[in-house]
A and B are shown apart, each in its own frame.
Chain A
Amino acid sequence: MTATAPGFDAVLLGTCPVPQAQYDRILLGHGSGGTLGNDLVRKLFLPAFANPTLSALEDQATLSLHGTKGAAQSIAFTTDSFVVKPIFFPGGDIGRLAVHGTVNDLAVGGATPLFLSAAFILEEGLALSDLKRIVASMREACDEAGVTLVTGDTKVVDRGKGDQIFITTAGIGVVPEGLALSIKNARPGDRILISGTIGDHGIAIMSVREGIEFETVLESDSAALNGLTRAMLEACPTIRCMRDPTRGGLSSSLNELADASRMGVRLDESLLPLKPEVKAACEMLGLDPLYVANEGKLIAVVPPDDAARVLAAMRRHPLGRNAVQIGEVVEDHPGMVIMKSVVGGERVVTMLAGEQLPRIC
């Protein structure tokens, strides 16, 4: 995370007596996966629940359970809420997304996802046929990912108090013995790989919301990544860590990596995989694809000698066909992500501040 908010240093050092935020109310920007949300987590949630597992700020909590025979078993546990609008979009729907999001948070920690819960907040008036369609699609997504939905809950709110349907899923997976992926593990020289094109999900959603039409339908990349992560870990158990760059986009994941590992990240703009229609939409809307959400992509940090092997394993998997190396971890500029531009200049890639708002011209 970037040091943009005043008073932030002091908070990190645990000495901050000052008010926790400059805002007295929640803004939409607090949910954009950037610095505002990050502030909320670090200044409000972490102090309240302080414990080592939560403070690691991984995509999932890894917990050690002692079985009856005394052998320790590591399980991964995570939760995620889904409020996407529209609820049906090209390439998916809120139900599929709710399964994929939680499965992926487990998978990028190296865990094998097993069980999910789902809580539904339904708005009065939601068409039952829509709910049926969403549930069927969740079932399909569970089957594809090899997970079982084992518990759930339903609440209904007054018309106008929700937006059709909100879904919260939680998931449990098992972590293979000896595996401990963490963004803290990154070392200088490590290669940074990405499994495919960036920004597809965010732009697919935007194009429906804003009525932008492409010659072909741009689909969300929403997908369960546990098959891909398994293939990668089988090929190379020494992978340092993986992340799925969802809200806040690639920039948030890489800044979190740089921050947690106290390393620098160098990117090469010319290597970033982008679909032409995503690039075009970003140009039109004044958005930067580095900040646009993905729902079926992962980045992996890999020791240099293993990079080729992991890349090959990724490319053999359908969800990693377009995998490429986009940068590396360096000792210089710890905590910062620096990108070489296509024309040879350089710039720091910061975390999204607030919401990414379309520019006027």
Chain B
Amino acid sequence: MKYLDEYRDAAAARKLADAIARTVTRPWVIMEVCGGQTHTIVKYGVDRVIPDCIELVHGPGCPVCVTPLEMIDRAHAIASRPGVIFCSFGDMLRVPGSNGDLLQLKSRGSNIRIVYSPLDAVNLAAANPDRKVVFFAIGFETTAPPNAMAVWLAAKRNLKNFSVLVSHVTVPPSMTAILQSPGNRVQGFLGPGHVCTVMGFEEYEPIARRYRVPVVVTGFEPVDMLEGVLMTVRQLEAGTATVENQYARAVRREGNAQSKKLIEDVFEICDRKWRGVGIIPKSGYKLRYEYRDHDAERLYEVADIQANESTVCISGQILRGLKKPHDCTAFGKTCTPQTPLGATMVSSEGACAAYHAYGRHLEATGRRNGHQPELVQIGGGK
């Protein structure tokens, strides 16, 4: 398949891994910002074909993971109302709120639907004038344009029964928060390829300059990731700190002007709470005043709902690159994809869920019968 096979090519991957090994002279800590990138690393064992001294730590770029608990509880409160059709992206359904997840709510009779696009939810509202359709608008700058489009369209079509529960966050403030946090270990970033497709990468240039960190906007296939690591390591070894673009087949410096305008028209910047991290100033979007009739938080009066996180979960430290899933005592034991305790286990893009899905919880301890699988050496590069 074009644009796919060549980025999963074994020979190309090997060549890049060799180049990384030749380039690196000392240990570096590199954070991949996106959950999709974490997924690729673990799925293909990318971290196991590069030299040991390069540590990949997993960033906060999983929209499902960082959606705060109280926002999920607000979603539940809305979805439980009679006459409401609650629409969401698929992987948001398994995220536990204080009282179970949306799938369980669905099993108790709430009308909850998976949609692939927020525009499907708009159409649902048009087709069901006697119901209220609420779309859970979460995500980074990648999902912001379609979500903005849905609100814009609903307003234009005067669909008063369509509203969105907005929990949008943006990447650059979270990178700044990580770099400013005490104990930060991150020395370079693999930048968020899809986010930059929309936003471009100009806004990362001040971050690279100010904090002296290289940022390489990187794609999502294993060969992309290896090339991104190589470009970052080259900068680190040379002592430079600029923004480079590995994902040039999709990303331009200025981004997508139309999408940016749409975001600007519908949303405005606000402070947002990140699950496991806390409030980051100016790190998200909320609906502009003129779209208040489509703001589910206002219409259903759920803004006051608050929630408390599990005390065991270390997802906040994982999201900031301070710890790995294995460092958590609950990982793979009391915390699994079926019984997630916190942010990073809930979505397949979360670091803990990715580790779990690809069996890394089994590797350290072997299986239940006490057999000790010889898995320490798995992976070609080490």
Contacts and interface: CB of A to CB of B under 8 A. Distances in A.
Contacts of B104: 23, 25, 27
Contacts of A210: 116
Interface in A117-149: none
B55 interface: no
A336 B222 contact: no
Given A276-B1, A341-B45, A344-B45, A357 B371 contact: no
Interface string B341-380: 0000001110000001111101100011101011100111
B367 A29 contact: no
A4 B358 CA distance: 12
A283 interface: yes
A263 to B, nearest CB: 11
A213 interface: no
A341 B369 contact: no
B63 interface: yes
Interface in A1-59: 2-6, 8-9, 12, 22-23, 25-29, 35-36
Interface string A340-361: 0111111111100111011111
A109 B75 CA distance: 47
Contact of A25 (B64, B107, B338): B107
Given A35-B338, A345-B379, A361 B63 contact: yes
Contacts of B14: 343-344
Contacts of B363: 348
A335 B367 contact: yes
B161 interface: no
Given A23-B104, A332-B374, A343-B222, A350 B357 contact: yes
Contacts of A283: 1, 4
B362 A26 contact: no
B358 A342 contact: no
Contacts, number: 183
A160 B48 CA distance: 52
A309 interface: no
Interface string A296-336: 00000000000000000000000000000000000011111
A151 interface: no
A270 interface: yes
5 contacts: A3-B368, A5-B338, A35-B338, A341-B44, A347-B45
Interface of B: 1, 4, 8-10, 13-14, 17, 36, 42-49, 63-64, 89-94, 103-104, 106-108, 114, 116, 138-140, 142-143, 194, 222-223, 226, 332-334, 336-339, 347-349, 356-360, 362-363, 367-369, 371, 373-375, 378-381
Given A4-B338, A6-B336, 18 more contacts: A2-B362, A26-B107, A283-B4, A286-B90, A338-B375, A342-B13, A344-B10, A344-B17, A345-B381, A346-B380, A347-B43, A349-B359, A350-B357, A354-B94, A357-B93, A358-B90, A359-B89, A359-B347
